[in-house]
Amino acid sequence: MNLTRTKYDSLDFWNKFNESLSNLIMKKVGLMVLVIFSLTTLHISAQCRNQINKNGGGVCNSLATYLPQPVFSQEAIRYVNRSVVYVKVRIDKEGNVNSAEAHTESPLLNAQAVKAAYRAKFKVTKLSGEPVEVNCGIYYKIENVKVIPKKPNLGLVKLGKAVNLRKPNVSKSIQRKIGKTKYVLVEVEIDNTGRVISAKTIKGNKALYKASLKATKLSRFSPTLKGGILVNSIAVIKYEFSDEKKSNINVALESIKVEEPIILNHFPSGKLALFAPQPFYPEAARAINLSGKVVMQILVDIDGKVEKANIVSGHPLFHKSSIKAAKATIFPPQKLGRTPVKVRYNLVFNFKC
């Protein structure tokens, strides 16, 4: 009996020993697995950090799958004493830029660099197999980007000057007819090269009109510029005859101004649009099966482009697409004789569901 009990006690001892040993081994194995996992995580994290920082200072240009270059205007870089622009960005889990900021002495340069940064795309960075957000920076070299030329100021006008004002050739018989009125004012239309297109007398001694007009048409002027563009102009010339010697004539340019184009309500050539895109049908109007007509009044400039487009009538849902289509329409340039003219015209767009 005692032997049997001793035998069972011995078995129970060995069972407990094996169980304790197994638990100890499992704990050791679990601890080793945890250590290996931690080291692997740290290694991956270090790799990610090294990848972001491998260009120095957190630069991530090399991680970009699409990196459009900014387009800087001359005003933006005029007073900037640097060759590169650094934009600090935050890349989301999908590789898109969700925030960007640049700090240079030019606010305009900052805005143009940030605009380009938001369009960039990057490789997705993963940590332990999971996508993560990344803070880094993009460097843009100013000398490698396209510079927008300064747009002309259309309000700036540089008036032409008289280059060669001819004096009228007045015969003695006409000189005898000169009374108290001893001057003539002539209005001159000048083309964009400085040559006289037409001339008409507006005031003065009628006996001197013919000679004054002939002299005017032989005169020359420097071109007039509006916003850097050569334009036609209108000038007034004064011919004044001396009291002492009537053959002595003083010629002066009284005034000169930019010629405003004539606006017609029809196309002189009879030709309509060269390019007339149709407006798109808005989804909001399609959803309610809305149909209708939009009437627009447009102003076509001397180059055939639509300068203004105003809605006359039509449902508000059709307004935006109608204006966009109207401004994209191109007409042949119109002239009245040899004079370029603007045209005011009505456009009608029909929308059917």
Total tally of structural domains belonging to the chain:
3
pLDDT at 208 (0 to 100): 85
Give the model's pLDDT for residue 294. Answer: 92
Over residues 130-165, the pLDDT tens digits come to 899 989 999 888 764 455 555 555 556 777 788 888
Band (107; pLDDT cuts 50, 70, 90): confident
Domain's final residue, options 260, 290, 311: 260
Which of 14-18, 175-179, 297-301, 303-307 is predicted with the least confidence, judged by mean pLDDT?
A: 14-18
Domain span at 328 = 264-351
Which letter, b or e, does each residue of 207-228 get, where b requires 16 or more Cβ atoms within 10 Å of its Cβ? Answer: bbbebbbebbeebebebbbbee
Provide the pLDDT for residue 147: 52
Task: Assess if residue 42 is contained within a domain.
Answer: no
Dist. CA 131–CA 94, nearest whole Å: 8
Q: Note whether residue 39 is domain-resident.
A: no
Rounded Cα distance between 135 and 113, Å, is 17
Domain boundary among 148, 167, 200: 148
Kindly state whether residues 164 and 141 are assigned to the same domain: no
What would the mean pLDDT of 179-192 be, rounded to a whole number?
83
Same domain for 200 and 243? yes
**Rounded distance, CA 349 to CA 323, Å?**
10
d(Cα 343, Cα 263) in Å, to the nearest integer? Answer: 5
Report whether pLDDT(206) > 60.
yes
Task: For residue 328, give the CATH number of its domain.
Answer: 3.30.2420.10
- Asked if residue 303 is part of any domain, the answer here is yes
The answer to whether 286 and 353 have CB atoms below 8 angstroms apart is yes
Three-state DSSP at 329 gives: coil
Adjacent-strand bridge partners of 85: 140
Same domain, 253 and 310: no
If one counts every other C-beta atom within 10 angstroms of the C-beta of residue 42, the result is 10
Which of the residue ranges 32-46, 56-70, 122-136, 137-151 would you say has the lowest mean pLDDT?
Answer: 32-46
DSSP 169: -
Ramachandran class of 164: left when φ > 0, alpha when ψ lies in -120 to 50, beta otherwise: beta
Task: Examine the fold and report which residue of 242, 260, 278 is the final residue of a domain before the chain moves on.
Answer: 260
- Is there a single domain that holds both residue 139 and residue 176? no
Residues 172 and 249 in one domain: yes
Q: What is the value of pTM for the model shown?
A: 0.38
User: pLDDT tens for residues 303-350?
Assistant: 888 988 999 899 989 999 999 999 888 888 888 776 778 888 888 999
Q: Which two tokens stand for residue 236?
A: 């007034």
| Most confident of the ranges 12-16, 81-85, 242-246, 298-302 | 298-302
Q: Find the mean pLDDT for residues 58-83.
A: 79
Residue 117 has pLDDT above 70, yes or no: yes
Residue 72 in domain: yes
Please indicate, yes or no, if residue 47 is contained in any of the structural domains. no
Higher pLDDT, 170 or 100: 100
Residue 19 lies in a domain: no
Instruction: Give yes or no: residues 107 and 180 share one domain.
Output: no
The helix/strand/coil state of 272 is coil
95 in Cβ contact with 60 (< 8 Å): no
Mean pLDDT of the chain: 77
Question: Can you tell me the mean pLDDT for 57-78?
Answer: 80
Residue 108 has what pLDDT? 78
